Structure 1
Amino acid sequence: MEIEQHPLEPFLPGNARLLMLGSFPPQRKRWSMEFYYPNWNNDMWRIAGLLFFNDKDHFADKSQKAFRKERIIDFLNEKGIALFDTATAVRRLQDNASDKYLEVVRPTDISALLQQLPQCKAIVTTGQKATDTLCALFSLQEPKVGDFTEFIFADRPMRLYRMPSSSRAYPLALEKKAAAYRIMYQDLQML
């Protein structure tokens, strides 16, 4: 079975206070842009639009069924949000975007990412596979969905937030997903 390498570089703004980690990008055929959470059917950018701009379509170009990458990058740089995934190489056990059918071949060196983000105080995982992978790497107890656990990284107090998946396959309304993310962003004084 083919091993896929991560197609994107980590997005690491120097002012990042939050590192957002998914599992791995979907297949390119599902991309609406060359960036993170590219699937038009993924709600990550709708959640951010709703919370920060009171408009779920703030980052959307509905006529193109695509997200506005430059607008997203400007937002992430302004807010101090870094992005990557918990795996740098995977095997897809089925021909779909489901984390359930991803086998992590090589986990990401999260410590190396955090060393590049001296202001980072929190990590958020955006799904079960990402949470499982991160908790295994750092020997952490998994927080409940919508909650966090505290840990120390290189003498730095950190929080791991476990948020609901932004995938539409996760059966929760957009507004309820946004409500969970709102608590995290408020905790971190980003909203």
Structure 2
Amino acid sequence: MQIETHPHAPFIPDTLKVLIMGSFPGRSTTLSDDPGNQWFYSARRNQFWKILEKVFEKPLPDQETKSAVLSLHGIGIADILLQITRLKDSNADQDLEIVTYNDKAIGDILKRYPNVCVCFTSRFVEKHFKSLFPAHQHSILLPSPSPRYARLNLDQKAALYKQILFFGVEK
């Protein structure tokens, strides 16, 4: 099995208030053939950016726009895993075998921003984060942006994201 290394450093604006924590980027299937838009959550079927377009009520067509909007609202993005192998040809968390955690980078973020609210995109991420950082108390589980999580439709997910991301966060 081939070891994959995370291609992106965590995105952390200076005014970080909320840290969205995912697992690991999807396989190379992306939203765009534009290499400049192959960033966090760029797997074609992932609903993350569609959800955030509804939350912020504006299109987020490229990495530059996405990072500007996230920075404006003090929202960062990081993934719990640094290196993985895939047990199947799948992006599902349960099909990832952990080689290395991204604990050094995340630990550095938590030291710099000890009161940041960490928002998990899955129970898998929540479980691993809490095992690595049991002392961090400010966290919440978001609805999964995976289309496989069909209990909520896109509008319902966006409404919950909006409520969670802006609870206690200055607009």
TM-score by length of 2: 0.86
Would the aligned equivalents of 1:15 and 1:117 in 2 still touch at CA under 8 Å?
no
Corresponding position of 2:117: 122
Percent of aligned positions with the same letter in both sequences?
Answer: 29
1:163 aligns with 2:167: no
| Structure 2 counterparts to residues 8-87 of structure 1, below 5 A | 8-30=8-30, 32=32, 33-53=37-57, 58-59=59-60, 67-87=61-81
Would the aligned equivalents of 1:23 and 1:99 in 2 still touch at CA under 8 Å?
yes
Q: Deviations over 1:25-58 (max 9, x none)?
A: 01123353221111232111111111221x5xx1
Q: 2:166 and 2:12 mapped to 1: Cα distance?
A: 21
Would the aligned equivalents of 2:119 and 2:140 in 1 still touch at CA under 8 Å?
yes
Q: 2:116 and 2:11 mapped to 1: Cα distance?
A: 16
Matched to 1:111, the amino acid is: G
Q: 2:31 and 2:94 mapped to 1: Cα distance?
A: 19
Moved more, 102-111 or 69-78: 102-111
Q: 2:53 and 2:68 mapped to 1: Cα distance?
A: 13
Runs of 4+ in 1 over 3 A off after TM superposition: none
Q: Cα distance, 1:186 vs. partner?
A: 3.2
Q: In angstroms, what is the RMSD of aligned CA positions?
A: 1.8
2:9 is paired with a residue of what secondary structure?
Answer: coil
Q: 1:12 and 1:133 mapped to 2: Cα distance?
A: 20
Corresponding position of 2:107: 111
Would the aligned equivalents of 1:12 and 1:117 in 2 still touch at CA under 8 Å?
no
Report how many residues are paired: 164
Gaps of 5+ in 2: none
| Structure 2 counterparts to residues 130-169 of structure 1, below 5 A | 130-139=125-134, 153=136, 158-169=137-148
TM-score by length of 1: 0.78
Q: Deviations over 1:54-111 (max 9, x none)?
A: x5xx11xxxxxxx421110110111111111000011100012111201122112122
Moved more, 41-50 or 84-93: 41-50
